[in-house]
Structure 1
Amino acid sequence: MLKKFLERTLEWTSSLCFAGLIAVVLLQVFARLFLARSPHWTEEASRFLMLYMVAFASGLAARDRAYVNVDFLLNMFKGRLRAFVDLCIDLLSIVLMVTIARYGWDNAMVGRIQTSASLSIPMHLVFMAVVLHAVSVAFYTAIHIIDDLAALFGQRRSS
């Protein structure tokens, strides 16, 4: 239930950020071509939308194991050995994501006293995209760890 809700939320929010990014960039292009002045905030808005789009979509990429890897080497392993290698990779990924989340949080808290130049958005909200990325990837990686352990001990993998 939680997994499905999180998936739908990440799908919708990444899609909304993508649609917003397209709208903002089209507005900027239109304004530069046809208007006397173009809005000054569009560049900053497009950066923030891109950042959050990637943050929302990164968990979905982790869910599908869609991150770049050296699969020709991984495909040489079969059965329990492959499950062990996957488990090691996933454990290292969790350590990395927890580290990123921890320091991302610290960085976001520093940003509480700053606002963005054009949109006057508190920068800690922008910096929280890093934490969102790390937490969503860690969530799906934890699910993969459960699958890896099941495969390692002879049970069928769910993914």
Structure 2
Amino acid sequence: MSLFKFFRKAMKWGTIISTLLFVGITLVQIYGRFFMTKAPSWTEEAARVAFIYAIAFAAGLAVRGAYYVNFGFLVEKFSQKNQELLQYFIWIITSLFILVFTYHAFEFLMMGTVEKSPSLKYPMTISFSGIAIMGISILVHLLNEKPKNTKMPKQ
């Protein structure tokens, strides 16, 4: 198994596990609000972290599947050569933007070493690392995927 395939599989499992945790924690919160005198205070914060991780893990997979919004209807008006040039330009600009984003995500991550979460009292680097994971995930998928055509993905 190649390193990229392992990485992609880890992102898929991270997305699945984080989403299931988000749903499970949210159900605990709903149960607490309806059937307990006071909902557990940790559920809101834990659900937020699970949601951040679900998005972080899935972001690169969305790049790979071409599920982000694009202007394919506009690009299709250009000649094939200009479409390829535009897609290459977009790929370069997006890759550079995500590279800068990921760099600053690690700076942000370092700021969390001195902070604690309000409810669960864990280091905020755990929450902040979701941003770095998202940047790495998108960057790895962008660098592994060459610029594609602008056709919409098949459903």
Q: TM over 0.5, yes or no?
A: yes
CA distance in 2, matches of 1:84, 1:139: 22
Q: Deviations over 1:73-109 (max 9, x none)?
A: 1222343322211111111111111111111111110
1:99 maps to what in 2? 100
2:13: which partner in 1?
A: 12
Q: Whole-Å Cα distance in 2 between the matches of residues 43 and 14 of structure 1?
A: 19
What do the CA deviations read for 1:33-56 (whole angstroms, capped 9, x no partner)? 111221001110111111110000
Distance of 2:124 and 2:71 partners within structure 1: 36
For the pair 1:57 / 2:40, whether they are aligned, the reply is no
Structure 1 residue runs of 4+, over 4 Å off? none
Answer with 74-83 or 40-49: which moved more.
Answer: 74-83
| Corresponding residue number in structure 2 for 1:86 | 87
Unaligned 5+ residue runs, structure 1?
152-159
> Structure with the greater relative contact order (CA < 8 A, sep ≥ 6): 1 or 2?
2
Give the alignment of 1:1-159 within 5 angstroms. Answer: 1-145=2-146
- Indicate the percent of aligned positions where both proteins have the same amino acid: 26
- Root-mean-square deviation (CA), in Å? 1.5
Separation of aligned partners in 2, 1:86 and 1:105? 28
- The alpha carbon displacement at 1:2 in A equals 1.5
Q: What code does the residue aligned with 2:32 have? A: A
**In structure 2, how many angstroms separate the alpha carbons of the residues matched to 1:51 and 1:123?**
13
Aligned residues: 148
CA distance in 1, matches of 2:86, 2:111: 38
Q: Which runs of 5+ in 2 are unaligned?
A: 150-155
